[in-house]
Structure 1
């Protein structure tokens, strides 16, 4: 089934309509990888100039409820959105702004510790770790 057909059937199952704007927002998120709502809006407006930022935010909220996209806060400012297949932890350099990705399995020990000691279930796919990247440290 196509991406459009999949989104259409998911919306239909929940009693919602498929709109071109929703599909354009989903397509933009998938194409851009990690993008802020403003970047997604700019991409969508390349095809549909009348789509505004409010429509993009509403579509992103719905797509996240449906499990098709997720957001991550990579530092200060707007969250970034990515397609659901992105399962990684973000490493954000607070000096140069570089964003790297590492496997979520690197946090397994921490997740187990948090669960056993606090009863807290970590969602590492919604996580960004802030620090200093190798290039910035070596530049010092």
Structure 2
């Protein structure tokens, strides 16, 4: 991905820095990660990288189409690589387990919206509920 990253950065008049490369690698390796998780992963390799660098770089990478984000909790956004196939996120509110499904899961919704002149971005979609494992276990409260 570094060749694609370098090309896209140059097209925008930006440089390929070691920090940008490490941050993109972290997103690709972690698969779904908040900026804080990306920071921790990057700091294991380069302790001088700070949080503002991670946040700014994630914004640049998203503008370049190399990463995208979704909201899988009520906290920070979660980033993932666009190298992964497009997918819908399904999140259990109780155990916070995240499952990914192909876009065919919401194909009827995508088609209905398209018929109404709206193009849906499936990669940003997160569906919240409760998984069957949590349905079967007693409520901890």
Structure 2 counterparts to residues 1-140 of structure 1, below 5 A: 3-86=1-84, 87-117=86-116, 119-140=117-138
Does structure 2 retain, via aligned residues, the 8 Å contact 1:89–1:128? yes
SS of the residue corresponding to residue 68 of structure 2 reads strand
Deviation digits for residues 113-135 of structure 1, max 9, x if unmatched?
12324x32211111100001011
Aligned residues: 137
Q: TM-score scaled by structure 2?
A: 0.91
The answer to whether the Cα contact below 8 Å between 1:75 and 1:130 also exists between their aligned partners in 2 is: no
Distance 2:53 2:7 in 1: 21
SS at match of 2:107: helix
* TM-score with structure 1 setting the length: 0.92
Query: RMSD of the alignment, in Å?
Result: 1.2
**How far apart are 1:18 and its partner, in Å?**
1.1
The answer (yes or no) to whether the contact 1:69–1:83 under 8 Å persists in 2 is: yes
- Structure 1 residue runs of 4 or more that deviate by more than 6 Å after TM superposition: none
**How many angstroms apart in 2 are the aligned matches of 1:47 and 1:75?**
27
